[in-house]
Structure 1
Amino acid sequence: MKSLILKYATPLTATFFLVSLISGVSLFIHAGPGAMHGIHEWLSMVLVAPIMFHVLRNWRAFSSYFKHVPMVVAFGIASAATGLFFIPATVPTGSKDGPPQFALASVVLENSVASVAPILGKTPDTLVAELNAAGFPATPEARLSDLPAKSQKTDRDLLRALLP
């Protein structure tokens, strides 16, 4: 079994890396079939095992990289690039620069219960009753964005309550 793993560690790593690369680029440019997200996510997880076997097979050469400056610099660059994704976005609420679904939700929440009800296919009174049942102190004139704070809930809770 060990010789089989060592024999296929590098070819499997290279093959699954190519799948991950192609599916990742397809996702980035919004091309390819709808299955691309699942392909990328799951087969990238499958890639972990061949990488572990590849590192095990090449451990001595791999560990020697850590004795040189370029590997430390590469880790520093990768860590800094990764860290950038954890910095909160500075896009203002409702801005057209963020994800469109968030911008739409922000616009909807700035309106009154009565003005949003027809969009949801409901009467204002029906929507008020549903929101009150969900724990939001709603009136037809109430602005939706004010309701979460009054009920000690989140905007996310409110959006869920608005859904059918």
Structure 2
Amino acid sequence: MIKFLKTHGTTLTVGLFLVSTISGVFLFFHLYSSAFHAMHEWLSMVLLIPVGFHLWRNWPGFMGYFKRKTIYIPLVLSLVASLAFAYPALTNNGGNKNPMRAAIGALQNGTVAQVAPLFKLTPEALSQQLSAKGYKITSSTQTLADIAQSSGKPLGPSLVTDLLPARK
């Protein structure tokens, strides 16, 4: 492995960086996200191996940045940029929430009568569909969260999955 990294470490770093860059751009613009999401996450993790090896091999040159004090401004700018994104999520300021979680939460808090049209169903048809999947429904004015709780079913994506019509 060491011989392989000595021979191909830099070119592997460049190749994986290109994959990470291209997949990141597609993810940023929400294009073909299902094709790029796992690729971006996993290959970015794999990228850490040749980058780490590259730093190890070039450590004396890397330390030169500290001696010349040219590394501090880029490091501080990188930290500030990362905190600008992390701080609102960590402190829950600004309402930065995962839109998928917000959508699932909105569905769970909706009644059968409110949610049924979203799936092109009548409240009765949605009630029948949920009953067939083991949910106990007493009224179309019950929220889906109440229905799931009284039926001993979990809240979250599994409840939304159960709302979807059966595939033919």
TM-score by length of 2: 0.62
The Cα of 1:149 is off from its aligned counterpart by 8.5
Q: Deviations over 1:99-154 (max 9, x none)?
A: 378447625742335972984586365246347x34xx531233224506854866
Q: Secondary structure at the match of 1:35?
A: helix
Specify the code of the residue in structure 2 equivalent to 1:29.
F
- Between 1:113-122 and 1:138-147, the stretch displaced more is 113-122
The Cα of 1:54 is off from its aligned counterpart by 0.7
Aligned residues: 156
Call closer, same or farther: CA 1:54–1:128 in 2, change over 3 Å.
closer
Output aligned runs, 1:1-164, within 5 Å.
2-31=2-31, 35-65=35-65, 68=69, 69-70=72-73, 72-74=75-77, 76-84=79-87, 86-87=89-90, 88=92, 90=95, 99=99, 102-103=102-103, 106=106, 109-112=109-112, 116=116, 119=120, 123=125, 126-127=128-129, 129-130=131-132, 133-134=134-135, 138-145=137-144, 147=146, 151=150, 155-156=155-156, 158-163=159-164, 164=166
Call closer, same or farther: CA 1:123–1:61 in 2, change over 3 Å.
same
- Report sequence identity in percent: 31
Distance in 2 (CA, whole Å) between partners of 1:17 and 1:109 is: 43
The Cα of 1:73 is off from its aligned counterpart by 1.5
| The structure with more helix, counted as a fraction of residues | 2
Q: Secondary structure at the match of 2:37?
A: helix
Distance in 1 (CA, whole Å) between partners of 2:13 and 2:102 is: 38
Specify the code of the residue in structure 2 equivalent to 1:50.
P
Call closer, same or farther: CA 1:153–1:77 in 2, change over 3 Å.
farther
The runs of 5 or more residues in structure 2 that have no matched partner are none
Moved over 6 A (4+): none
Distance in 2 (CA, whole Å) between partners of 1:32 and 1:129 is: 35
RMSD of aligned alpha carbons: 4.1
Specify the code of the residue in structure 1 equivalent to 2:25.
V
Instruction: Determine if contact 1:128/1:139 at 8 Å carries over to the other structure.
Output: no
TM-score by length of 1: 0.63
What is residue 95 of structure 1 aligned with on the other side? Answer: none
Distance in 2 (CA, whole Å) between partners of 1:53 and 1:153 is: 49
Call closer, same or farther: CA 1:141–1:2 in 2, change over 3 Å.
closer
